[in-house]
Structure 1
């Protein structure tokens, strides 16, 4: 499991917790947590792409510009 997948799974857990919450403050906390996990998942995804690109460049493989 990659970091991105781990973070995405935690975001899904937080979303489920928010849906199950009966108290507004708990729901709000869970939604903030979901947003934070989603941000971390996006950053981890960008980092994975960057590392893959660096490895390809080191191996001499042409990498198209994004």
Structure 2
């Protein structure tokens, strides 16, 4: 089994936070977990964009 990429790890953390939010009846704890999930998703998106830019830069260097 291949190790997860950093963005996959972040997405898994977001999913875990959503599950924790769904499992609590306390409004403040639910909101905290939902905010955490949104943050993990934003970090995953940033990592994915960074990986795409890194790949594009590497391809451009090969073509030079």
**TM-score, scaled relative to structure 1:** 0.87
- Structure 1, unmatched stretches of 5+, are 62-66
**Residue from 19, 23, 35 that aligns with 1:20:** 23
RMSD (Å) for aligned C-alpha atoms: 1.2
1:37 aligns with: 40
* 1:3 shift after superposition: 1.1
- Structure 2, unmatched stretches of 5+, are none
Runs of 4+ in 1 over 4 A off after TM superposition: none
Distance, in Å, in 2 between the alignment partners of 1:21 and 1:39 is 23
Which has a greater percent of helix?
2
Distance, in Å, in 2 between the alignment partners of 1:33 and 1:21 is 14
**TM-score, scaled relative to structure 2:** 0.89
